[in-house]
């Protein structure tokens, strides 16, 4: 993966861009830049992920007028680049893991997050299938006075439960992991989502259990903890656990 500096200077149309911030990304090069004096997020996809770029641009182009997602300004297929709007706010992952933020405020954000998913799934729902966002990671959301979703390169056909379970697994397994508060927020999220849509959520405990196992590939150091909580949730659902007793 090239650095943002290398990529910008490889093309005349981006050579005058001023880098303001680098964003972490496992697959692509992403940053906040000023281009011709205008704030933009630039997402530069590696050559093998051009289809991901096209998927993301399609979601942004169709959804931006109706959903809380970035506005796309340019699709540069020659360089595998999308330019989009920059959203100023607080990362939802940081907010929900901040012990200085009151629980009631966190519940408010979780409710808005659930409503965001309900709106997204409803908008991209046809009589034949759902489009889910994929990669339902808390870090892919920004909070202003509302919740904004980012990063749609893994969007695909699927079932809403996959997104909901993946988001719950992200919430439960970010530091601090599997706390009583996290279980409570997950239940608030699921209840709020069910209220916002016209369909039922099925087998959610099983889906969360599976999603936690999937996270092992990114969190191998936490494999034992993820496996134990995956099994517990599969059997007992989101019942709030007694600290550490299940590990004795």
In this predicted model, what pLDDT tens digit does every residue of 153-173 receive, in sequence order?
A: 999 999 999 999 999 999 999
Q: Is the pLDDT of residue 248 over 50?
A: no
pLDDT band at 24 (very low <50, low <70, confident <90, very high): confident
Q: Is 78 exposed, middle or buried (0-12, 13-18, 19+ CB in 10 A)?
A: exposed
- Identify the structural domains of the chain with CATH numbers, from first to last: 15-84 (3.30.200.20), 90-247 (1.10.510)
pTM: 0.93
Cross-strand bridge partners of residue 40:
33
Phi, psi of 106 (to 5 degrees): -65, -40
User: What is the CA angle 200-91-28, rounded to 5?
Assistant: 90
210 is written with which tokens?
A: 């599976």
User: Over the stretch 28-60, which tens digit does the pLDDT of each residue have?
Assistant: 999 999 999 999 999 999 888 999 999 999 999
């Amino acid at each position: 993966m090239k650095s943002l500096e290398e990529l910008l200077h490889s093309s005349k149309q981006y050579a005058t861009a001023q880098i303001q911030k680098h964003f972490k990304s496992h697959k692509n090069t992403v940053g906040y830049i000023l281009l011709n004096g205008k704030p933009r997020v630039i997402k530069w996809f590696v050559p093998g992920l051009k289809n991901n770029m096209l998927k993301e641009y399609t979601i942004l182009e169709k959804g931006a007028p109706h959903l809380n997602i970035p506005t796309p300004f340019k699709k540069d297929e020659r360089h595998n680049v999308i330019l989009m709007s920059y959203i100023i706010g607080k990362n939802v992952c940081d907010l929900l893991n901040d012990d200085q933020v009151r629980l009631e405020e966190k519940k408010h954000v979780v409710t808005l997050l659930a409503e965001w998913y309900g709106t997204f799934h409803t908008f991209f729902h046809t009589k034949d299938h759902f489009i889910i966002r994929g990669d339902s990671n808390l870090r892919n959301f920004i909070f202003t006075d509302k919740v904004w979703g980012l990063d749609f390169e893994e969007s695909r056909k699927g079932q809403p439960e996959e997104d909901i379970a993946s988001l719950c697994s992200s919430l439960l397994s970010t530091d601090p992991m599997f706390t009583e508060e996290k279980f409570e927020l997950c239940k608030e999220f699921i209840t709020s989502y069910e209220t916002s849509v016209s369909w039922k959520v099925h087998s959610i405990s099983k889906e969360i259990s599976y999603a936690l196992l999937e996270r092992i590939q990114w969190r191998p150091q936490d494999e034992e903890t993820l496996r134990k909580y995956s099994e517990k949730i599969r059997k007992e659902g989101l019942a709030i656990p007694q600290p550490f007793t299940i590990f004795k």
